[in-house]
Structure 1
């Protein structure tokens, strides 16, 4: 496991994904890396998804002269690799990552957990374990933000753990209609309206593994989720005393209504400027 001495600056965000490549846009802000798939020690990403997500969240745009800057370029990133090079993972690895966050969260000032992954399994046992895991993190005070998944446009297509009633679930505002309508939508199997809100996720440019430092375009609710997580990190920099429940309510109050059904758009489209000014 890679660990860096925490300097006490910035909000820590745990990113559960395919890992992270030490792109120049992250500077020295990769606070820790733990590989639950292969047990390797140094930061790496053999898929690229996690690096892309982390760039949307916290890249500072150095390699692009500021053109591709993330939502919270001052945050600390804790990368937990729970998916392999093919983007596949196990429930056990994800649950171990949840426990890691509980054990080390205070050390790295982890306030937010970004989960841009979800299971397509219809196994009730697997979904129940993942939902219990994220809800335990939520109950311990972490602000958990998860993707709605790309199984839409049918009803009941929000993937776990995004289907949890407690956590903040994000869909893609530009992937709700037409031939790109893949953003997962509710209701969940517990008849809960989801997602909670939506944010842009179509053709997003962000960090990619490799030197010279490069960028790639990806689409999906995975790209929408770190945009919201980054906005929350900026809010917590301003008001660190806020609880996860208070943050969820502030998000609700700051969204823009798109005029779509609740199970498509949630409360509406994420508006970071309104959130920070709240």
Structure 2
């Protein structure tokens, strides 16, 4: 009995000292007024210009976390700060359960959320322990041999945009990945280097500026967007500019990687990035208590997915790999592909057939996922030595799409991220009949261009929608020549949710029944259209 009692005490001491991961959320940002009055202290001019073009106001999410709050948490006994997020007003911390719970006594702490949901008073449901091998998006199969990248571009009709000199020039893509060794020396990246297209980067895992290191995965991913070897490999966005951020720890599987990703996305935002490519996905962690279930793939649970949606609200487009688990026990999409406003990309073969490994949808709450498809089986890439090889994975279908997004946005620089995403989805071959394997299907970027050019618009000074963001009623200012117009409101799935005739004597309509979020509007008057983004609070 004494031995049993001693064992119980020993185990109790062990669990008390075990390290847990958690997020601590703060109540406010006491410096908000100062930063909002001095926006260049938190965002670059290019970032502010992106907001202006898309009519996106600054808000408290843009304001840095209070340094005083960070210092007090850092000074707390038994707490290590691993990452921080101004968007979430939170820190990712590590410590004992007791030390983490003690933080709730601080007056400026709103709440604490453990990565192990069983330690939260509310949170993710308990799940069974899983010992399966992690099937992350970054795991690829490479076979050496000569290949031509023409198919993965032509499938999307991207070559037709290149022929019109839409090659991504003027757009910035942030690649968030595991590492980028030899990008600074391998031949396929020399064109980017010679033209000063690599703008910089950062290693969030090791907290240093040496981003030409780490796992090899990011090098392969970058090659499908920006690589160039004549007659062998041409990336889909060869003239775009790039930031390279390491957020994936190849030695561990831990939720802190989600927090690294959000940090990198925030830096991308502040630098004025237009597109974020994420060829990573999170579902199962080394500690099974941290792992997700399919029920968590609802767009609002995973820290990284909430971060992706915030990135979208800042005016960027997040292109995300759907995942490689289609043939496994967890066949559905991973985080952040489940994010409501992420452009999740699945994989097809060279002939456009479904690739058996590509993760399927829908999201747990029933949304269409993946959104679109691109070649991910035997995709043509460069390895870290500059050899042109083929590789399999949605890791490559995602960046192939990212490059094309840059080309399309270059063609229509005044379009919002909402409009560009909608143009891409509407061009896909299954847009009217999406399914769980293909989503909306394989997009046709030339069709997206043609459709946009064929649609006449009001001039900007003839038309306005206000207030935006709106709470209950939206007013319209109409051109003098029109007595009535038709208003259409679409959700992020492209579904029509309002169709209303607006007369000049009462040019307004109600949005009281709409949930908070971002919507796409279209005003039709005769053969003339005006489209834009409407935020509902």
Aligned partner of 1:123 in structure 2 is 292
**How far does the alpha carbon of each residue in 1:144-184 deviate from its partner, in whole angstroms, 9 at most, with x for none?**
11111011147861111101122111101229968x51111
Aligned partner of 1:15 in structure 2 is 175
Q: CA deviation at 1:104?
A: 4.7
Q: Distance in 1 between matches of 2:433 and 2:367?
A: 17
Write the mapping of 1:86-101 to structure 2, written as runs, cut at 5 A.
90-101=254-265
Write the mapping of 1:122-141 to structure 2, written as runs, cut at 5 A.
122-123=291-292, 128-141=302-315
Matched, 1:32 2:200: yes
2:269 corresponds, among 64, 88, 105, to 105
SS in 2 for 1:172: strand
Matched, 1:48 2:223: no
Q: CA deviation at 1:33?
A: 1.4
Instruction: For structure 2, list consecutive stretches of 5 or more residues without a partner in the other structure.
Output: 1-45, 47-168, 285-290, 452-537
CA root-mean-square deviation: 2.8
Cα 1:216–1:259 shift into 2, 3 Å: farther
Aligned partner of 1:238 in structure 2 is 411
Aligned partner of 1:202 in structure 2 is 377
Matched, 1:183 2:355: no
1:73 corresponds, among 238, 262, 282, to 238
More deviation, 192-201/126-135: 126-135
Cα 1:102–1:259 shift into 2, 3 Å: closer
Equivalent residues of 1:135, 1:167 under 8 A apart: yes
Aligned partner of 1:82 in structure 2 is 247
TM-score by length of 1: 0.84
Cα 1:94–1:12 shift into 2, 3 Å: farther
Q: CA deviation at 1:100?
A: 3.6
**How far does the alpha carbon of each residue in 1:204-225 deviate from its partner, in whole angstroms, 9 at most, with x for none?**
1212213xx3233211111100
Q: CA deviation at 1:57?
A: 1.4
SS in 2 for 1:189: coil
Instruction: For structure 1, list consecutive stretches of 5 or more residues without a partner in the other structure.
Output: 1-5
Q: Distance in 2 between matches of 1:49 and 1:276?
A: 32
Aligned partner of 2:494 in structure 1 is none
Matched, 1:149 2:314: no
Q: Distance in 2 between matches of 1:33 and 1:43?
A: 6
Q: CA deviation at 1:112?
A: 0.5
Q: Which has the higher strand share?
A: 2
TM-score by length of 2: 0.45
2:348 corresponds, among 142, 154, 173, to 173
1:114 corresponds, among 268, 277, 282, to 277
Equivalent residues of 1:150, 1:182 under 8 A apart: yes
